[in-house]
Amino acid sequence: MALLDLTPNPVVLPDGIELHYVRAGVGNPLIFIHGAMGDWRACGPQWETFTARFDCISYSRRYSHPNPNRMDTRKHNALVDAQDLKALMDALGIDQAILIGSSYGGFTALAMALQAPDRVRAVVSVEAPMMRYALQSESGAEIARAFLEDSALPAREAFERGDDAEGVAILTGGIVGKAPQDIPAAIMERRMLNAKAARSLALSDDEFPWLETADLAALPMPVMLLSGAQTAPVHDAIFRAVADAMPRARAHKVEGAGHSVSQQAPEVFNRLVLEFLDSSLAEAA
């Protein structure tokens, strides 16, 4: 069944947070985690391929469409998203799952793997925006600071004054490496549906929390790191730094894709991920 034929169901976590999710397929549980301005629909190009092999769940993170949660804190980040994910797995009776996360969802997947490694069978992380890793080198720091000054900080200022449309446009342009006016209207409309999610990170006191290098390197489960060969410089700098910090992880650049690898090169993405899961899960059996 196609993803958009499904209607997301709500689940209320013990702390009152409501998350909407869809679930289909059979096999090992596999959870898709979308990026900063996405929602449960982001894995559309993967859904039918993966539900043929796995018990798939796709959900909207805390402040994404159509979740009704009020944004009443400036403490939101990937560590909080990981706690939500663990609570969602508990609510759905999932003891252990494969995690496939894109952008901030990839950040969330790695944070979850660190917080509860026994709950994570394998991780695929696509261009997790772990900004502090780029800041560790002189060349990476120059690129990261340019992104922060040209995109992240102006977006934060726009959200501070209540101009969500400008904040989303600035942040989207910086993430994909394009001028806001060059981004298709359909993409901007979907991102505006998730403006609250963008605001929750842009206004966070710690949008890019540090994940310890030694802890990442010691993760016991198989990990694949993916990046688009044509991605923006800031994502390339982060990806290379994180890959260097995780020598046991499989790292791969995908031709024909920028930041949104799973959507811009879905056939290649699906093949690479399935090959990775087939081999890594067979080794673990």
Is residue 116 one of the residues assigned to a domain?
yes
pLDDT > 70? residue 16: yes
Domain presence at residue 265: yes
Q: Is residue 148 part of a domain?
A: no
Q: Are strands 29-33 and 250-254 parallel, antiparallel or unpaired?
A: unpaired
Give residue-wise pLDDT tens across range 181-239: 777 887 888 889 999 999 999 999 999 999 999 999 999 999 999 999 999 999 999 99
Domain count, the chain: 1
pLDDT at residue 189 in the model: 86
What is the DSSP code (8-state) at residue 250? E
Question: Which residues, 6+ apart, have CB-to-CB distance to 208 below 8 Å?
Answer: 77, 129, 130, 131, 132
Give strand ranges (E) for 103-258. 120-126, 223-228, 250-254
Given a contact cutoff of 8 angstroms between Cβ atoms, the answer to whether 149 and 122 are in contact is no
The token duo for 72 is 């009443």
In a domain, 100, yes or no: yes
H-run or E-run covering 28: none
In a domain, 31, yes or no: yes
Phi, psi values for residue 32, rounded to 5°: -90, 135
pLDDT computed for residue 285 by the predictor: 62
Q: Considering only CA atoms, which of 115, 41, 102, 110 is closest in space to residue 235?
A: 102
For residue 181, being part of any structural domain is answered with no
Helix axes 138-147, 233-245, angle to 10 degrees: 140
- Render pLDDT for 225-234 as a digit per residue (tens, 0 to 9): 999 999 999 9
pLDDT exceeding 70 applies to what percent of the chain? 99
What's the CA gap between 170 and 260, in Å, rounded? 17
- pLDDT computed for residue 186 by the predictor: 79
Strands 97-102 and 29-33, sheet pairing: parallel
pLDDT in tens, 127-181: 999 999 999 999 999 999 999 999 999 999 999 999 999 999 999 988 887 777 7
The pair of structure tokens assigned to 149 is 């000054």
Residue 152 in domain: no
Specify the CATH number for the domain of residue 236.
3.40.50.1820
Q: Which structural domain, as residue segments, surrounds residue 36?
A: 3-135+209-284
Bridge-based pairing of strands 223-228 and 120-126 is parallel
Question: Cα–Cα distance between 145 and 152 in angstroms, integer?
Answer: 10
Tell me what the pLDDT averaged over the chain comes to: 95
Contact 261, 152 (CB under 8 A): no
Residue linked to tokens 């706690």? 83
Please tell me what DSSP assigns to residue 10. E
pLDDT tops 80 at residue 78: yes
Residue 140 is assigned to a structural domain of this protein: no
β-pairing, 29-33 vs 55-59, is parallel
CA-nearest of 182, 250, 212, 201 to 103 is 201
CB of 210 within 8 A of CB of 191? no
